[in-house]
Amino acid sequence: MSAWSKLGLRGRLAISIGAIIVLAFGAVFVVVRAQMANENVVIKREEAKKAPASGEDGGEADESARFSTIKDAQDDVEKTFFFIGGAALLAALLASYLLAARTAAPLRRFAETAAEVDGGDLSPRLDPGAAAPSELRALAEAFNHMLERLEDAFARQRRFVSDASHELRSPLTAIRGQLEVLARSEAPDGVEVRRVEGLALAEMARVERLVEDLLALARLDEGVGPALQELAAGPFLRDLIRSGGEQVELGKLAEGTLRADPDLIAQVLRNLVDNARRHAGAGGRVSVSSAAVPGGLCVRVDDDGPGIPPAERERVFDRFHRTQAARDRTSGGSGLGLGIARSILVSHGGRIWIEDSPLGGTRVSFELPGFKPEDKSLLSQ
C-alpha cells in the first residue's frame, strides 16, 4: 500500500493545496527571473548606444560599474522575493492544513456516528453545523433520513415479533390449560374429553391461520411480484362469493376482464369477507359487489356490524391491530388480514380504504387497475 493511500482526507487536502501553492510560487519566480534577465539585456543595449566614441577605456569602466550596480539590485530583489515568498509560502501551507482539517472535521464526526450506528445504536444523528457547506448538509440530511427509516423499521420488526409471539402463546396456553385440567381427572367422561377436544382443535385452527398469515406476510415482504393473469372478473368474484357461505349476499358485479393474480386476490376477498362476518356476528348481513371505475375495478364488502370509528380506519391496516370490538370477541382474528390485503393490493398497484356502509356497519372497498369492462358506459363516476 502506497504512502498516499495511507493518508486521510485532511493530509491529502493539505498536500494537494501545498503542492499547488509551491508550483504557483515556482512559476512566478521563473517569470520574474526571465523578466529581470530581459531588462538586463535591454539596459546593456541602451548603455552601449549612449557610450561616447572617445575614451573607450573610461567608458568600459563606467559600464562595468553600472552593470555591477544593476546586478546588485537584481540580487537584492531575488533575496527579498525569496524571503517574502518563503514566508508567504509557509503561511499558505499552514492555512491549507488548517482549511483541510476544518473541511475533514465534519466527515470525521460522520464516521464516528456511522460507527455508533454499526454498533447497534440507531439514535445518533449527524449535525454538520450551521456553517457547514451545502453538500455536507445534504449528506447529513440524507443520512439522518436513512437512520429514521431504519429505526422505524427495526421498531416495527420488534413490535411484530412481540405481537406474533403473544398471538402464538395465547392459544398454546389455552390448550395446555385444558389438557392439564383433563389430566387431573383419573377417569374423565366422554363429554369432558369431547369438550377439551373441541377447544384444542379450535385453538389449533387459530394457530394454523396465524402461521399461514405470517407466511403470507413474509412472502410479500420479500418483494415477490404477483403472477398476473387475464381473469373474467364477474365469474371469478361470483365463484369466490358463493364459496363464502350462505351469510354472504351477492350484489351487482361488473363484467369484464381483469389482469391480476387470482390466488392473491382470492386471499384478499376471503380476508375481507371473514372480517366482515366476524363483525356482523351470527345472523348479520354481509354483501359483496363490484363496479367498473375509471382506470380499474372497485370491489366493495359491506356488513351491518358495529362499524369502525373514523379514528381507527387507517390504523386497522397495521399488523396485529384490532379494534376494541374485535378484541372483545372470542372469535376475533389475529389482526393480520387487513394488513395482508393492503400489501397484496399495493403490489398490484391498487388501494384499499374503509368507509360507512349503507347496511349500517362498515364498507371495505378496494380498487385494482387493469380492468377492461364489457360495457364502458357503465363506468362509475
Question: First vs last Cα of the chain: how many Å apart?
Answer: 70
- Cell readout for 195 is 369438550
For residue 158, the model assigns a pLDDT of 77
Please give the sequence-ordered ranges of beta strands (E in DSSP) within the chain, or none if there are none. 229-232, 248-250, 256-260, 286-293, 296-303, 351-356, 362-369, 371-373
**Cα 77 to Cα 70: distance, rounded to the nearest angstrom:** 11
Domain spans of the chain, in order of start: 3-118, 152-221, 229-378
Mean pLDDT for back-to-back runs of 10 residues, the chain (381 residues)? 65 73 76 71 65 51 56 68 74 75 75 77 75 75 84 76 72 82 80 83 80 75 79 90 76 91 89 86 86 91 89 81 53 70 89 91 92 70 47
**Cα 135 to Cα 186: distance, rounded to the nearest angstrom:** 78
For residue 206, the model assigns a pLDDT of 76
For residue 367, the model assigns a pLDDT of 94
For residue 17, the model assigns a pLDDT of 73
For residue 381, the model assigns a pLDDT of 47
Strand 256-260 relative to strand 229-232, pairing: antiparallel
**Cα 127 to Cα 140: distance, rounded to the nearest angstrom:** 7
Task: List, edge to edge, every strand of the sheet that includes 229-232.
Answer: 229-232, 256-260, 371-373
Nearest of 207, 205, 198 to residue 172 by alpha carbon: 207
For residue 138, the SS3 value is helix
For residue 179, the model assigns a pLDDT of 84
Nearest of 300, 274, 268 to residue 287 by alpha carbon: 300
Is the pTM value of this prediction over 0.75?
A: no
The fold for domain 152-221 equals Helix Hairpins (1.10.287)
**Cα 222 to Cα 234: distance, rounded to the nearest angstrom:** 31
Nearest of 362, 364, 312, 322 to residue 342 by alpha carbon: 364
What is the DSSP-derived secondary structure letter of residue 312? G
Q: Identify the bridge partners of residue 231 per DSSP, sorted by sequence position.
A: 258
229-378 belongs to CATH 3.30.565.10: yes
Q: Tell me the Cα Rg of the chain.
A: 42
